[in-house]
Amino acid sequence: MSQDTLFDKVWDLHKVSRLPGGSDQIFIGLHLIHEVTSPQAFGALKDKNLKVKFPDRTVATVDHIVPTDNQSRPFKDNLAEQMIETLEKNCLEHKIRFFNIGSGNQGIVHVVAPELGLTQPGMTIACGDSHTSTHGAFGSIAFGIGTSQVRDVLATQTIAMNKLKVRQIWCDNKLSSGVYAKDLVLNIINELGVKAGVGFAYEFAGPAINALSMEERMTICNMSIEGGARCGYINPDEKTFSYIKNKLCAPKNEHWEKALTWWKSLKSDENSIYDDVIKIDASKIEPTVTWGITPGQSIGINQQIPLLDELSPNDKLVAEEAYEYMSFNPGQSIKNVPVDVCFIGSCTNGRISDLRIAAKVLKDRKVYKNVKAFVVPGSEKVANKAKQEGLDKIFKDSGFQWREPGCSMCLAMNSDKLIGNQVSASSSNRNFKGRQGSPSGRTLLMSPAMVAAAAINGKVSDVREFIN
């Protein structure tokens, strides 16, 4: 059992009681809500005649269903309109702060909370969304919950949960040029498998992690869940603190000093005990692309799709399913696979640094004919910053469509969808069957830089040929 890790410390600090069944009752420091997983929770409160216990500890935004082309109200999609209206009504009724479209602070919940300074070290953070693990980049313990647990957090600010084990993923050396946080996390998931994280929190550590910016760290923690871990975190450091400083909701003046003192005390002890430790050599990682139907099915850009014989018995069943669904042959290259749609965005890779990197690749170049390419900034703040820097113009000049912020084609709950068996080069997080809105649509996950390279060539390409 782990001891003296950041996870242990934050868990113990937030433990309210041991419940009769043996699980822990954990206080949730920050609760984030959005329009998809909250309406039934508010409905359940009403049914049980309960109130929101600490309305100040819940913050809302709207992201999953928002259209990215025309956001004027009412939305064209009646169901989407009904969902945003329900969230507006619930927030008003329960006095919950809501960052709506046009507020300047709306966006994907996991992009918005950090950029507002809401996400802070040492907090427990829960949200009805599996990518809540993103916030662990700040040394918070953050995890996704379902709607019944959203109800519990609203009613009690606590949830019942069994303590997770802790696996340290030590990343040695550093990433080479043209290789990004996305490539690192895809490799971690490939190496460990998509279910290795079940029952674990992942602590990402080591020189390669320390070298990452806060936005890159968010990309890593974001995809913990794709490795099966509902929680992933990184010990906070000076980069963490300076990212938070002066953000809208960050502690100010004398409160800042107090916060800083406490945050600096928060990290895994040098001699802390982990349930498991694994090591990854970051210098060996190449730009990485998924070829299958789980985020674990990935290869380096110069590698071939594995043969069935090369896979462990446990991976064969899904590999066979993947060859068939993706119409790929075992042993074929992933490089030069033609793409139909290129999508840059999502809570994994929809931040300003992602847009900057993609724009750098796209500058003075054109999107390949017949490729539909679009960029969806992660938030209104990201969009505004990108416009100030002229990135929107670079994207548009290249042939990318510039859209309004939201989750968009990461999960295709709005009108941004693949058609038929189109192949998408996507900076998002899931390549599940049907994930991007077409039951036969095919998703290749990669870094935003690699999506930009694919857009230019109209096929999967090595971005290093553009930047080196």
Partner 1 sequence: MKSDFTPPIGKITQIDGQCISLIGNDIDTDRIIPARFLKCVNFDSLGESVFEDDRETLKGKHPFDQEENKNATILIVNSNFGCGSSREHAPQALMRWGIKAIIGESFADIFYSNCIAIGIPCFTLPKKAIEEIQKNEDNKFLFLEIDLKKALAKSKDLNFNLEIKESSRKMFLSGEWDATSTLLENENLIENKFNQLPYITFNTNLV
The region, left, alpha or beta by phi > 0 then psi within -120 to 50, assigned to residue 84 is alpha
Nearer to partner 1, 261 or 271 (CB): 261
User: C-beta of 326: minimal distance to partner 1 in Å?
Assistant: 14
Element (H, E) at 60: strand 58-61
User: C-beta of 202: minimal distance to partner 1 in Å?
Assistant: 12
Peptide linkage before 74 cis (omega within 30 of 0): yes
User: C-beta of 218: minimal distance to partner 1 in Å?
Assistant: 18
DSSP string, 150-174: HHHHHHHSEEEEPPPEEEEEEEES-
User: C-beta of 196: minimal distance to partner 1 in Å?
Assistant: 10
Nearer to partner 1, 178 or 197 (CB): 197
User: C-beta of 354: minimal distance to partner 1 in Å?
Assistant: 22
Question: 39-52 in b/e burial notation, b at 16+ Cβ within 10 A?
Answer: bbbbebbeeeeeeb
| CA atoms in the 13 A half-sphere facing the CB of 435 | 23
User: C-beta of 47: minimal distance to partner 1 in Å?
Assistant: 11
Nearer to partner 1, 231 or 358 (CB): 231
State the Cα–Cα distance between residues 313 and 129, nearest whole angstrom.
32
CB-CB contact of 446 with 427 (8 Å): yes
Two tokens at 402?
Answer: 């510039």
Nearer to partner 1, 53 or 387 (CB): 53
State the Cα–Cα distance between residues 306 and 297, nearest whole angstrom.
9
Nearer to partner 1, 388 or 440 (CB): 440
Nearer to partner 1, 287 or 350 (CB): 350
Nearer to partner 1, 229 or 334 (CB): 229
CA distances to 45, 186, 407, 452 from 428, rounded to whole Å, are: 33, 11, 9, 13
The region, left, alpha or beta by phi > 0 then psi within -120 to 50, assigned to residue 116 is alpha
CA distances to 293, 343, 382, 462 from 363, rounded to whole Å, are: 32, 17, 19, 17
User: C-beta of 395: minimal distance to partner 1 in Å?
Assistant: 26
Nearer to partner 1, 141 or 212 (CB): 141
Q: For residue 361, how far is the Cα from the chain centroid?
A: 23
CB-CB contact of 180 with 216 (8 Å): yes
- The residues near 337 (Cβ < 8 Å, ≥ 6 apart) are 328, 423, 444, 459, 460
Nearer to partner 1, 80 or 386 (CB): 80
User: C-beta of 46: minimal distance to partner 1 in Å?
Assistant: 12
- The residues near 388 (Cβ < 8 Å, ≥ 6 apart) are none
Q: For residue 468, how far is the Cα from the chain centroid?
A: 28
User: C-beta of 15: minimal distance to partner 1 in Å?
Assistant: 8
User: C-beta of 314: minimal distance to partner 1 in Å?
Assistant: 7
Tokens 């913990």 belong to 224
- The residues near 17 (Cβ < 8 Å, ≥ 6 apart) are 24, 25
Residue 208 in 3-state DSSP? helix
User: C-beta of 241: minimal distance to partner 1 in Å?
Assistant: 13
Nearer to partner 1, 127 or 301 (CB): 127
End-to-end Cα distance, the chain: 46
Pairing of strands 97-99, 58-61: parallel
Nearer to partner 1, 177 or 439 (CB): 439
